[in-house]
Chains A and B, each alone.
Chain A
Amino acid sequence: MKSAIYLMSIVILALGLYAYDVRQENTQLQQTVHAQYTNSLTKASEKLTSLQQSVSQSLLFQDQEALEKELDNIWRTSNEFRSSISNLPLSTDVANDWLRYVGNIGEEAKYVADNGDYDEWYKKMGTVNENLQALSDEWAVATSNYYQNDGDFKKWANVAANETKESPFKNVSANLKSYTETDFPLTASESDWKKKQELQNLNDKEITKDQAIDKLELLLPGIKDATYTVTQSKEDAPYPFYHIQFVKGSRIGYADITVKGGHILSFLSERPVQEQTGITQQQIKDLTNQFLERAGYKDLQLVEMRENHDAWHISLARVAGKHKALVYPDGIQLKVSKDSGELLGFNAMEYVQKETVDENQPVNPVDWNTFFRPGTFIEEERMIYTENEGFQLRLCYEVIARFDNKLNETFRVVVDAENHDVIKVEYMP
């Protein structure tokens, strides 16, 4: 009996020590996270104040140099504020609204600094300045509880879990929504991801499920007579489409086809692929061309090919205009298996709704010898259409430039054909 009591005591003592250790670890962890959240909150609050002051100060200057310094400050501070906000456990709704609103201010500042459209800035930012002040006040009220010295981590834990309307951030959220709509109304085709939504503007004749399958089999004869499951997109989808899932032998895949017009948006098939290469890169190119011909795509040009273990990924872009320029936003991607050259994937979501190119944009020649430093070689040059930071489609020069050094470092440089603004510089490994 005595031994049993002795053993029990040891077990209880050991469990007690273990529980104490776990609790200590949990407390330490909570304190670390609490400190990080408080730090992010403090940074966010400070950056919000700086941003509001910078926007206010930018309205003070007519002097170009002073204004540009302030615009640069606004762009930088808005990015820092976004970073702090994204580190806080806010509900998705509140975080998204903040990121969008402040991101818009930063983008606007960058756009104005690049384009010199200062009058537009003064016109728009008067209201933004007032709204930012109001948001700053609401934010101070909403966050005041988190600075109390009671070290209650549960408050933070509840922030993301609560619905917005039950949280202290409900007023901030409501104001952000309203100010975003009034201060930065959406414009059409601002960027690629919005372009995809423009598919809702398709006005082609509607097709049936069976016609969608016929369309798919015509393009991809290899999946003929597969077992299909066809569902239609949900009611809220911006454009209606058929979601076709298929199984044929070891192939499992899907295709999305628009109800209006029966345009194939994307297709992807998964099957075991032998890594052993059975066909050459040239054969892959030939098969790509055969597919494009069969599908009726006559205005595409190969841009890039990338080999991996099982397949090749191939990018193509539409060629348009009198300069025969590549329209990068109107791209198509293919995935071709290395073992047999079978088409495993096809993506034409961005190609379906084609961009309108400006044929009349002036093209001014560039003297690359003075544009680049000595020792830089221009290896390739072609015309392309791509979006600038203001989301305008511009005719540009695309050059592949190489440093004449030990590593032959190579860059892709995109230069506006009219005003010679550098739109993009990419390091090409």
Chain B
Amino acid sequence: MVRSIIMTIILLLGSFAFVKPPTDTYAFSSQLIERGSFGDDVVELQARLQWLGYYNGKIDGIFGYGTYWALRNFQKEFELDIDGKAGSKTKTKLVNATQYNEKWVKQQMDAGNQFTHYGGTPLAQQTKAGAGSSKSSDVQVPTKYSERDLQLMANAVYGEARGEPYEGQVAVAAVILNRLESPEFPNTISDIIFQPGAFTAVADGQIWLTPNERAKEAVLDAMNGWDPTENALYYFNPKTATSKWIWSRPQIKQIGEHIFCH
């Protein structure tokens, strides 16, 4: 009796071992996904919509208008409420109608490959190794700025103010953006940062250090409107500044080692 029970258990376990592990994992979180969302849920949403041909843009984890219209078209076709939001009904319908190879998609994104995730075509034929243009987006920036702007400003902030408090780092980023609005300075972020003599970090090469996440977050806050300098156009370190001119500028406030002025 005991032997037959043991045999049954072994047979059952053996049969489980032959069950093919699912390649299509239900990985959506319980969150409602809508315009403005960002992250893994959105990557999955875009990949699944692309599987059916509704989404033809870049799979980047940012829920913008391209994803929004694709989702609405899917909802219309599958007779769901058309609201452009992925709630539990929409997600279930999508999961049942598509496949999602999460591991493969993540690999492509991490490698910076150019890829798509259409159904009916082997995935291996949908990637261009090293094309490099569709690496996963790190952040969502306001429409008037680009990720390139954020990267360049993060380099400048890190090179100029990495030892400063967070407020001081947001302040340096805000000065760059204030210059962008001012008629006294060039019209692009790149021209402002690389204007000869404008930033010490450019002159001494520290702008080429790799910025940390804190510097990027500081730039992101400045791009979203924060300006701890109260509209300053210049700053200087009073311990090291040698220019008489900079001391003549009307001062606003001091943050860490920097005095901010008009």
Q: How far is the CA of A274 from the CA of B201 in the complex (A)?
A: 32
Q: Which of B39, B65, B178 has the most CB of A within 10 A?
A: B65
CB-CB contacts of B236-260 with A at 8 A, as 1s and 0s?
0000000111100011111100010
Q: Which residues of A contact B29 (CB under 8 A)?
A: 277
Q: Which residues of B contact A107 (CB under 8 A)?
A: 183
Of A99, A266, A402, the contact of B185 (CB 8 Å cutoff): A99
Decide: A99 and B183 in contact? CB cutoff 8 A: yes
Q: Which residues of B contact A34 (CB under 8 A)?
A: none
Measured CB to CB, the nearest residue on chain A to B64 is A429
- Minimum Cβ distance to chain B for residue A7 (Å): 36
Q: Which residues of B contact A163 (CB under 8 A)?
A: 243-245
Stretch of A53-61, A318-326, A367-375, A404-412 contacting B (4+ beta carbons < 8 Å) = A404-412
- Minimum Cβ distance to chain B for residue A32 (Å): 14
Interface residues of B in 131-186 (CB under 8 A from A): 139-140, 142-144, 165-167, 170, 178, 181-186
Of A92, A237, A252, A429, the contact of B166 (CB 8 Å cutoff): A252
Q: How far is the CA of A324 from the CA of B135 in the complex (A)?
A: 41
Decide: A266 and B227 in contact? CB cutoff 8 A: yes
Decide: A99 and B186 in contact? CB cutoff 8 A: yes
- Minimum Cβ distance to chain A for residue B112 (Å): 19
Decide: A306 and B66 in contact? CB cutoff 8 A: no
Chain B interface main SS type: loop
Number of A-B residue pairs with CB-CB distance less than 8 Å in the complex they form:
185
Asked whether A281 and B31 contact (CB < 8 A) given A266-B228, A268-B166, the answer is: yes
CB-CB contacts of A325-369 with B at 8 A, as 1s and 0s?
000000101010000000001010110000000000000000000
Stretch of B103-111, B120-128, B189-197 contacting A (4+ beta carbons < 8 Å) = B189-197
Decide: A237 and B252 in contact? CB cutoff 8 A: yes
Decide: A407 and B57 in contact? CB cutoff 8 A: yes
Interface status of A103 (Cβ within 8 A of chain B): yes
Stretch of A21-29, A118-126, A191-199 contacting B (4+ beta carbons < 8 Å) = A191-199
Q: Which residues of B contact A205 (CB under 8 A)?
A: none
Decide: B250 and A160 in contact? CB cutoff 8 A: no
Decide: B64 and A306 in contact? CB cutoff 8 A: no
Interface status of B43 (Cβ within 8 A of chain A): no
Q: How far is the CA of A347 from the CA of B170 in the complex (A)?
A: 13
Decide: A308 and B183 in contact? CB cutoff 8 A: no
Q: Which residues of A contact B102 (CB under 8 A)?
A: none
Q: Which of B165, B170, B182, B225 has the most CB of A within 10 A?
A: B225
Measured CB to CB, the nearest residue on chain B to A195 is B231
Q: How far is the CA of A253 from the CA of B140 in the complex (A)?
A: 23
Interface status of A426 (Cβ within 8 A of chain B): yes
Interface status of A142 (Cβ within 8 A of chain B): no
Decide: B31 and A236 in contact? CB cutoff 8 A: no
Decide: A307 and B66 in contact? CB cutoff 8 A: no
Q: How far is the CA of A402 from the CA of B233 in the complex (A)?
A: 39
Decide: B56 and A406 in contact? CB cutoff 8 A: yes
Of B65, B186, B195, B220, the contact of A429 (CB 8 Å cutoff): B65
Q: Which of A96, A100, A282 has the most CB of B within 10 A?
A: A96
Decide: A256 and B31 in contact? CB cutoff 8 A: no
Decide: B32 and A281 in contact? CB cutoff 8 A: yes
- Minimum Cβ distance to chain A for residue B178 (Å): 6
Interface status of A254 (Cβ within 8 A of chain B): yes
- Minimum Cβ distance to chain B for residue A155 (Å): 14
Q: Which residues of B contact A282 (CB under 8 A)?
A: 32
Decide: A306 and B140 in contact? CB cutoff 8 A: yes
Interface status of A178 (Cβ within 8 A of chain B): no
Asked whether A347 and B143 contact (CB < 8 A) given A191-B181, A234-B251, A407-B56, the answer is: no
Report, as a range, how many residues of chain A touch the other chain.
35 or more
Interface status of A104 (Cβ within 8 A of chain B): yes
Asked whether A82 and B187 contact (CB < 8 A) given A245-B167, A266-B227, A428-B143, the answer is: yes
Q: Which residues of A contact B31 (CB under 8 A)?
A: 277, 280-281
Interface status of A305 (Cβ within 8 A of chain B): yes
Decide: B230 and A93 in contact? CB cutoff 8 A: no
Decide: A193 and B38 in contact? CB cutoff 8 A: no
Q: Which residues of A contact B221 (CB under 8 A)?
A: 268, 335, 345
Interface status of A30 (Cβ within 8 A of chain B): no
Decide: B184 and A96 in contact? CB cutoff 8 A: yes
Decide: A308 and B186 in contact? CB cutoff 8 A: no
Q: How far is the CA of A234 from the CA of B62 in the complex (A)?
A: 42
Nearest 9 Cβ contacts at the A-B interface: A236-B250, A410-B65, A89-B196, A408-B69, A96-B184, A305-B36, A307-B38, A160-B197, A234-B251
What would be 29 A-B contacts, judged by CB atoms less than 8 Å apart?
A79-B187, A82-B187, A86-B191, A86-B195, A93-B245, A96-B185, A99-B185, A104-B183, A107-B183, A193-B181, A193-B182, A231-B254, A234-B251, A237-B250, A237-B252, A238-B250, A239-B230, A252-B165, A268-B221, A304-B36, A307-B38, A312-B36, A313-B220, A315-B224, A347-B224, A347-B227, A410-B64, A429-B64, A429-B143
Interface residues of A (CB under 8 A from B): 79, 82-83, 86-93, 95-97, 99-100, 103-104, 107, 160, 163-164, 191-193, 196-197, 231, 233-239, 241, 243, 245, 252-254, 256, 265-266, 268, 270, 277, 280-282, 304-310, 312-313, 315, 331, 333, 335, 345, 347, 349-350, 400, 402, 406-410, 412, 426-429
Add 11 more A-B contacts to A268-B221, A306-B142 (CB < 8 A).
A83-B191, A89-B196, A96-B184, A237-B251, A254-B228, A266-B227, A333-B224, A408-B70, A409-B66, A428-B143, A429-B62
Interface residues of B (CB under 8 A from A): 29, 31-32, 34-39, 56-57, 62, 64-66, 69-70, 139-140, 142-144, 165-167, 170, 178, 181-187, 191, 195-198, 217, 220-221, 224-228, 230-231, 234, 243-246, 250-255, 259, 261-262
